Amino acid sequence: MKLSVDGLLVYFPYEYIYPEQYAYMIDLKKTLDAKGHCLLEMPSGTGKTATLLSLTVAYMLEYPDSIRKIIYCSRTVPEIEKVIAELKNLMNYYEIHAPTHAPLTGLVLSSRKNMCVHPDVSKEREGKSVDGKCYGLTASYVRDKHELDAEVPVCQYYEGFSIEGKEMKIPDGIYSLDDMKEFGRTRNWCPYFTARYAIVYAQIVVYSYHYLLDPKIAEVVSKEMNKESVIIFDEAHNIDNVCIDSMSVKINKRVIERSTAALNELQSTVKSMRDADINKLNEEYQRMVQGLKEARLRADTDMVLANPVLPKDILKDYDRIYWL
């Protein structure tokens, strides 16, 4: 149905709208007009996601200079996929009832674990394992080795994206996780890195809270986002926990044991390096003294130099400087 919300034409992809949904749209419209912040609450099952998307997409199409991007943050992958499903439904409704509207690109970004299509790496169940294997196939030093030796394995999908993906945009449309993976297989592009690149120019981006709230991740992923963006935090009561989790470090007995072992190994390595350097310094000193001896002897002098040992205070000073 078509609605007029405070003068804004809104396409709503259902035959019936709850009064709460319409009231929700009015408050959203006022917030966007004021370029401010808004906290809204709706009961579960009253169509919150469809209401949010219908109003914000309509506003973006009507006022493209005010809103250039919609960033929809959700908590879990199933919730993210539900948002994409609602967005697809809305865009299909636009194609039927407003075919002249400007085409939009919307996509989901998730972790490598959820987007990888590499036949070996994608079999890993743990996210850290996927990240580690991915890095082992895509790191610059690995790719440099591959240039010299074709036997060094690299990821064909990352290579395909590196060759073409940064020079081309994905076609307009709404892409779920499965859509991105299918597109990646078809074009031989890595879905994860394709999505990482595409969120810069896509009008609608759906991803996890962490991509915007975790400073470490946001600095890498979200720093190029437009300032003229509408940011939606779905289930916003979870924000506190997400922030606490992002800024926390979890330490257990295994981490402590591995850290202790690593420190002991580092201490042993540094001691070996220090001892080796001291030996080299002594050897160089002995060579210098021997050279002076030979020079004196060649000059037919009666003075014979002794062969002193490097003073202990010098070694102590060297040891102190080394550790500083």
Instruction: Using pLDDT thresholds of 50, 70 and 90, give the confidence band for residue 299.
Output: low
pLDDT one-digit tens code per residue, 143-184? 999 999 989 999 999 999 999 888 888 999 999 999 999 999
Do residues 127 and 158 share a domain?
Answer: yes
Q: Given a cut of 50, is residue 321 above it in pLDDT? A: no
Given this model, what pLDDT does residue 28 score? 93
Count up the domains in the chain and report the number.
Answer: 2
Q: Any residues with CB less than 8 A from the CB of 185 and at least 6 apart, and which?
A: 117
Do residues 93 and 130 share a domain?
Answer: yes
Q: Pick the residue with more confidence: 308 or 240?
A: 240
Given this model, what pLDDT does residue 252 score? 87
218 in helix, strand or coil? Answer: helix
Q: What does the DSSP assignment read for 1-63?
A: -EEEETTEEEE-SSS---HHHHHHHHHHHHHHHHT--------TTS-HHHHHHHHHHHHHHH-
Q: Which of 219, 246, 273 is the last residue of a domain?
A: 246
Q: Give the rounded percent of residues in the chain with a pLDDT score beyond 70.
A: 92
Do residues 182 and 287 share a domain?
Answer: no
Residue 36 in domain: no
Among 208, 117, 127, 124, which residue's Cα sits nearest to residue 161?
117
Q: What is the mean pLDDT of residues 213-227?
A: 80
Do residues 208 and 90 share a domain?
Answer: yes
- The number of residues making up the chain comes to 324
Instruction: Using pLDDT thresholds of 50, 70 and 90, give the confidence band for residue 245.
Output: confident
Instruction: For residue 44, count other CB atoms closer than 10 A to its CB.
Output: 5
Q: What is the DSSP letter of 238?
A: G
Do residues 96 and 178 share a domain?
Answer: yes
User: Could you tell me where the DSSP H helices lie in 98-160?
Assistant: 112-115, 127-138, 140-148, 156-160
| Cα-based distances in Å from 1 to 56, 58, 116, 244 | 16, 13, 39, 42
Q: Which of 246, 276, 293 is the last residue of a domain?
A: 246
Given this model, what pLDDT does residue 322 score? 45
Among 62, 58, 2, which residue's Cα sits nearest to residue 28?
58
Tokens of 312: 């202990």
Among 183, 174, 222, 221, which residue's Cα sits nearest to residue 57?
174
One-letter identity of residue 121: V
Q: Which of 202, 217, 246 is the last residue of a domain?
A: 246
Given this model, what pLDDT does residue 243 score? 80
CATH assignment at residue 225: 3.40.50.300
Instruction: Using pLDDT thresholds of 50, 70 and 90, give the confidence band for residue 324.
Output: very low
Residue 30 in domain: no
Please tell me the least confidently modeled range out of 25-39, 163-177, 274-288. 274-288
Do residues 80 and 118 share a domain?
Answer: yes
Residue 74 in domain: yes
Do residues 72 and 200 share a domain?
Answer: yes
Range of the domain at 209: 68-246
Tell the residue number behind the tokens 């080394």, with chain if given: 322
pLDDT one-digit tens code per residue, 98-152? 988 888 999 999 999 999 999 999 999 888 899 999 999 999 999 999 999 989 9
Tell the residue number behind the tokens 């991740």, with chain if given: 217
